[in-house]
Amino acid sequence: MYTLHYFPGNANLVPHMLLEEIGAPYELAFVDRDNNAHASPEYLKLNPAGRIPVLIDPELDLVLFETAAIALHLADRHPDCNLAPPLATKARATMLKWLMYLTNTLQAELMLYFYPARLTGGDEALAAVVKREAERRVCGMLDILDAELLHSRGPWLLGEQYTIVDPYLLMLSRWTRMMARPARELPHLRDFLGAMTARPAVQRTFEMEQLPQPWY
């Protein structure tokens, strides 16, 4: 049985949605981020970066962190669920391109938006500038993703096949919900988010993590 270490609404949303989609047995291990449990010696043994999530796969004696790596692992461990295209195909390469874009580009920019003080040494005015510029760049990234959904003809980022990048896009889109122009205001992203939150596995995940409406 898998164990997913999580905190509600954090990057664990992606593997949590995937585990529900797959239907594999798993248990949740709550990491009390509000009380710095992610920085405890016990948790740092699992992830020395002190970040959430961590997935434990006991069959492989594997402790895995980094959301994109966990998502790929789950897709490869459960190939019958078709959550990733076959290796060495155009579709697989396209999926990997968007997975890396989401984690390395959009998610990284969102971290600057949420935590600008990490770069500014306590300068509140400078932090406000960093936050504003990060939001501006995030908006441009959302435009790219909205255009791709139009190009792929949806309903998913790769077109007709639902893959691991779709929960990832939902999670990051949700994180923009308090911005001046959130993802839901872009037409193709809005349709995508509606289709995603209609999936029973997604609904179960959000309810289990007790995330309030509106979800995005």
Nearest to 71 by CA among 153, 152, 172: 172
pLDDT in tens, 94-127: 999 999 999 999 999 999 999 999 999 889 999 9
What residues pair up with 29 in beta bridges, in sequence order? Answer: 5
Comma-separated ranges of CATH 3.40.30.10 domains in the chain: 2-81
CATH number of 2-81: 1.20.140.10, 3.40.640.10, 3.40.30.10, 3.40.50.720?
Answer: 3.40.30.10
Comma-separated ranges of CATH 1.20.1050.10 domains in the chain: 90-199
Q: How far apart are CA 155 and CA 175, in angstroms?
A: 21
- What is the structure's pLDDT at 151? 96
Q: Are 112 and 130 in contact (CB under 8 A)?
A: yes
- What is the structure's pLDDT at 156? 98
Res. 154 pLDDT band, cuts 50 70 90: confident
**Residue 56 has which token pair?**
């434990």
Place of tokens 């594999």: 24
Answer whether CATH 1.20.1050.10 is correct for domain 90-199: yes
Share of the chain above pLDDT 70, in %: 100
- What is the structure's pLDDT at 163? 98
- What is the structure's pLDDT at 62? 98
Nearest to 166 by CA among 194, 130, 138, 143: 194
- What is the structure's pLDDT at 181? 98
pLDDT in tens, 48-85: 999 999 999 999 999 999 999 999 999 999 999 999 99
Res. 149 pLDDT band, cuts 50 70 90: very high
